[in-house]
Structure 1
Amino acid sequence: MQVPIIASARRGVRALLMLMLCTSAVGHAAAPAPTNQITLDPMARHYQLGHGLAFGDSGFRLGGYGVVGIGELDRGDAAPAPPARWQSAIEALSGFLWWQGESAWRFFSEVAVENVLTARPGEVTTARDLKPLLERFYVDYAWRDAINFRLGKFLTPIGRWNLIHAAPLVWTSSRPLITENTFPGNATGAMAYGALDSPWGDVEYSLWASPGAELLRPHDRATFKEAYGAHLTLSPHPAVRLGLSFADFELADQQDQRRKLYGVDAQWLYRRFEVSGEFAFRVNRVDLERSDERGGYLQLVVPLSERWYGITRYERFDQTGVDRDLNLYVLGLTWRYRAALAIKGEWSGARPNNVGAAQGWRASVAVLF
């Protein structure tokens, strides 16, 4: 039975109030230590939260991020059988290893595991088949600002959210629906990218192609079989970013069905306020009623105090083969202690929820290390 939206919202508000009380105490306890404090850890000289651990002067650094979450979610009309129950989980652990020397060459890699440990009422489980996911593995050659080259596995340059990637750097625990399954989040191939000056402000571009199968393909995710695309970002003002995306691709598990995707994204910053959004339209070349897919989101971030932010997001999503568009509403609070640590709480509700979108309340702690 689906949780009524009003009752779920009340629980979400209570959870957000508890989050405010807890993080206020954490903020007091986590005040930075005096700069003249002597540390007994010799590695402290080489490490700063969010910047990774340097291996001497070798050019290598080790970093990553972790996410621990708790929530009470249901899947709406698409999965009405089990009632919503709270659950807590180590949602993600991700490790970065990168190298940058004095030459034009750079290397970056990311390996992640998901849902390592999950706790529900009366039970604690571990992932039975815990397989590391290779998220990124590429080599860059920085020839000049105007043109750089990348070879390997990288984040698909579509929109804004997919490129930010790391949970500590985004404002909410949930990810907008249009960025989840409308296109694969990774591509294996080559990319040329750079930054140019223009009469309309700074211009950043990327041209990419994925000619074959994904490197170490995960079996539970959609991946490209063949794809190419482009992304363009204009900055007519220091506070404004406008993006355009295009991709033509074929999926590995749905071969001979070409798709084209057109997208726009935008961000506006004013002091500590932020308005951002994305819209994508995917054209499917298949003989199916309502085969195309479209959707987008608009998100507002409002500073409430030095470290507290209020977030609201509206999403509209028209999934392939579904009769009615989904409207999703998100209301949340985020507490940021520096850029590398975020504690988030949110409530979300969808009407009609005919695509199985997670709704209810959730909270998470995300750390970039």
Structure 2
Amino acid sequence: MAVALAASLACAPAIAQDRLDRLELEIEGLKKENVELKERVESIEAADEETTHSLGVLSRLVDVSGYADVEYRLTDKDGENGGFRLHHLSLFFTKDIQKEWKLFTEVEFEDAPVLDYTNDTLNRGDGVFFVEQMYIEYHPSLSWDLRFGRFLTPAGIWSIYHYPPYVPTQSPPLFTRLIFPEVSDGALLRNSFVLHDTAIDTHLFASNGSGNPGSLDMNTNTAVGARANAALTHGLSAGASYFREKDNSDVMKNSFALHLLADYGPFNLQSEYAYRHNDPDGGASYNDKGWYAQLAYDAGKWTLAARLDWYDTDDTAPINDIYRYTGAINYHFAHNVVGKLEYDRNEFDDPARQDYNEVIFAIVVAIGDL
């Protein structure tokens, strides 16, 4: 036993040295792999830098979202035929430039626009190509932000929340985009605060006014407007809107609106009233006004909706009232794919205008987060 112990002790240094040698070899192998990995990473970074330099802005990430809808319409309106309509392709581009700065753009293609030029001659022009929104946003706080550029005119509900994937009808209320302009080019301040346990959202803005393109204000007057919305209780909110301008025809316009939104279980009630006083320079003043109420019911993948519309284009005559009765059925194939069936009955007090009916079948998809 003593001989075996002595032999063991004699071999121990050799075994230890062998283990050290193997560890050194493994460390050398790891160092070599590390050098090779570093060279590969540097090669990839160099390739990325070259690609970034070549592609410039396009190589940087931009969030893209939007929506599209295709319709088939049937109508008995005089002078019109039914058929397919490539109604909207609307693309949103969002880029966080810095922590407190963002660029947002919405570009809309309506009715599959075609522009065909030969030199300076327009051979064919169909559809609508429209930069609906383009603004630079400064948001130093969650409670307020500033927008500079083109934005949706903040008025009521439908003017802001109207995207086809999230509303039950394809047709908007009659007075939408008439009493208040669709978009405004200018500056917008948004502010949210709590007053006596009530959350209040406000909009204050100044703009060129309606009818002015993004490069030119064709009058010397600045339009101003405001909107406020209060969350009164859970599922119930209400608010008011105002807009004032002197347009390019020297008509002083003052627009007012009230809105109400109520959610109760599967039911949703939405209503707006809008009124505009028009005072032409040297002419007789008149008012145009409108109202609608829409009730929707959600049952799983189904949504049922009904809406009553009224719009008076000029209250100085008793025959200028227009009415629309709408019923709609939606089926949500997915959270971002919806099929719609809509019926509209349009009636006129003016005996010179013929009442008509319209049926709309539509497929609507949303791309990303709107």
The alignment's TM-score, normalised by the length of structure 1, stands at 0.72
Q: 1:293 to 1:345 in 2, by over 3 A?
A: same
Letter in 2 for 1:312: A
Residue 70 of structure 1 deviates from its aligned partner by 1.0
Hey, what's the Cα distance between the residues in 1 that align with 2:221 and 2:194?
35
- Give yes or no for the alignment of 1:352 onto 2:348: yes
Aligned with 1:175: secondary structure? coil
The 5 Å alignment of 1:35-74 reads 58=60, 60-74=62-76
Hey, what's the Cα distance between the residues in 2 that align with 1:246 and 1:64?
29
Residue 359 of structure 1 deviates from its aligned partner by 3.7
Residue 146 of structure 1 deviates from its aligned partner by 3.0
Q: Output one character per residue of 1:276-318: Cα deviation in whole Å (capped at 9) or x when no partner.
A: 0111000001376682101110000012x31111100011111
Which is helix-richer, 1 or 2?
2
The 5 Å alignment of 1:26-41 reads none
Hey, what's the Cα distance between the residues in 2 that align with 1:356 and 1:57?
55
Q: Aligned residue for 1:168?
A: 165
- Give yes or no for the alignment of 1:365 onto 2:360: no
Residue 180 of structure 1 deviates from its aligned partner by 3.2
Contact kept? 2:155, 2:227, Cα under 8 Å: yes
Aligned with 2:309: secondary structure? strand
- Give yes or no for the alignment of 1:241 onto 2:237: yes
Identity %, equivalent residues:
22
Letter in 2 for 1:85: N
Residue 250 of structure 1 deviates from its aligned partner by 2.9
Aligned with 1:232: secondary structure? strand
The 5 Å alignment of 1:213-292 reads 213-215=212-214, 226-252=222-248, 254=249, 256-286=250-280, 291-292=286-287
Residue 136 of structure 1 deviates from its aligned partner by 0.4
Contact kept? 2:324, 2:347, Cα under 8 Å: yes
Q: 1:263 to 1:357 in 2, by over 3 A?
A: farther
* Alignment match of 2:189 (pick from 187, 192, 206): 192
Instruction: Point out the more displaced range, 204-213 or 267-276.
Output: 204-213
Contact kept? 1:313, 1:331, Cα under 8 Å: yes
Residue 182 of structure 1 deviates from its aligned partner by 2.1
**CA root-mean-square deviation:** 3.0
Residue 239 of structure 1 deviates from its aligned partner by 0.3
Q: Output one character per residue of 1:193-221: Cα deviation in whole Å (capped at 9) or x when no partner.
A: 0210111510000000104633168xxxx
Q: 1:116 to 1:290 in 2, by over 3 A?
A: same
Contact kept? 1:113, 1:132, Cα under 8 Å: yes
Instruction: Point out the more displaced range, 101-110 or 305-314.
Output: 101-110
Hey, what's the Cα distance between the residues in 2 that align with 1:327 and 1:138?
36
Q: 1:128 to 1:152 in 2, by over 3 A?
A: same
Contact kept? 2:227, 2:241, Cα under 8 Å: yes
Contact kept? 2:112, 2:128, Cα under 8 Å: no
Q: Aligned residue for 1:330?
A: 326
Instruction: Point out the more displaced range, 337-346 or 200-209.
Output: 337-346
Higher relative contact order, chain-length normalized (CA < 8 Å, sep 6+): 1
Q: Aligned residue for 1:20?
A: none
- Give yes or no for the alignment of 1:98 onto 2:81: no
Hey, what's the Cα distance between the residues in 2 that align with 1:339 and 1:289?
51
Hey, what's the Cα distance between the residues in 1 that align with 2:220 and 2:262?
32
- Give yes or no for the alignment of 1:299 onto 2:294: yes
Q: Aligned residue for 1:108?
A: 104
Contact kept? 2:184, 2:208, Cα under 8 Å: no
Q: 1:131 to 1:69 in 2, by over 3 A?
A: closer
Hey, what's the Cα distance between the residues in 2 that align with 1:288 and 1:352?
26
Q: Aligned residue for 2:174?
A: 177
Structure 1: give runs of 5+ residues left out of the alignment: 1-54, 119-126, 218-222
Residue 358 of structure 1 deviates from its aligned partner by 7.0
Hey, what's the Cα distance between the residues in 2 that align with 1:149 and 1:117?
33
Q: 1:190 to 1:364 in 2, by over 3 A?
A: same
- Give yes or no for the alignment of 1:137 onto 2:134: yes
The alignment's TM-score, normalised by the length of structure 2, stands at 0.72
- Give yes or no for the alignment of 1:210 onto 2:207: yes
